[in-house]
Amino acid sequence: MQREIGTIDAQEVMAVLAAVPDPEIPVISVVELGIVRGFDPLREVVIITPTYSGCPATLVIEQSIRAALDAAGLSRILVKTELAPAWSTDWITQAGRAKLLAYGIAPPPLGDGAPSLRNRLAAQCPQCGSHNTTEISRFASTPCKALWRCNACQEPFDRFKCH
């Protein structure tokens, strides 16, 4: 059944999208990761911003969002990618940060002005909780992560790059 324009509830749309997992980190949704910036009910558009403008998962994310909307009977909603403002690690929700840590990925700190943005503060090891960690490589399993090692437990781990 088609609804009148402007009658789709934003909370309903966001609830549907909250079930769409990130293709690279399936324990966190695209909403928790901050990729979904919101839903404009008047224009009937979901706005998304990839973690990086060249993110290789962007097409898969768009397709997953489209499939979820279609399955919920919301096929007339458009999905629009906007690169400005650029995605920020501050857009990751608290629940998302907790899920990243439980999954073994060190979440970034909050705050654009944080010294850790320039890696002046060590990442917390998701295995043992130590802050005695070292960045091994600025590049890791995906473009949005860096490779770190814990000096206490010797385990390697990914950390979201701060930006």
Pairing, β 156-160 against β 105-106: parallel
Higher pLDDT, 74 or 120: 74
Between CA 8 and CA 47 the distance in angstroms is 15
**In the sheet where 78-81 sits, what is the strand order?**
36-40, 45-48, 78-81
Q: What is the pLDDT of residue 55?
A: 83
**Which residues, other chains included, contact 69 with Cβ-Cβ below 8 Å and sequence gap of 6+?**
13, 16, 17, 46, 75, 77, 79
Instruction: State the pTM of this model.
Output: 0.85
Summarize pLDDT for 15-24 with one digit per residue, the tens: 999 999 999 9
What's the mean pLDDT in 62-86?
95
Summarize pLDDT for 90-140 with one digit per residue, the tens: 899 999 999 999 999 998 887 755 555 555 678 899 999 999 999 999 888
Give the chain's mean pLDDT.
Answer: 89
Q: What is the pLDDT of residue 84?
A: 92
**Which residues, other chains included, contact 89 with Cβ-Cβ below 8 Å and sequence gap of 6+?**
34, 107, 108, 160, 161, 162, 163
Q: What is the pLDDT of residue 111?
A: 72
Between CA 141 and CA 148 the distance in angstroms is 11
Question: 25 near 106, Cβ under 8 Å?
Answer: no
What's the mean pLDDT in 146-163?
91
Higher pLDDT, 43 or 64: 64
Q: What is the pLDDT of residue 122?
A: 85
Q: What is the residue extent of each domain of the chain?
A: 10-87, 97-160
Question: 52 near 39, Cβ under 8 Å?
Answer: no
Residues 111, 29, 107, CA angle at the centre, nearest 5°?
Answer: 35
Q: Could you tell me the pLDDT band of residue 61, with boundaries at 50, 70 and 90?
A: very high
pLDDT above 80 for 77: yes
What's the mean pLDDT in 19-37?
96
Q: Could you tell me the pLDDT band of residue 27, with boundaries at 50, 70 and 90?
A: very high
**In CATH, which superfamily holds the domain spanning 10-87?**
Fe-S cluster assembly (FSCA) (3.30.300.130)
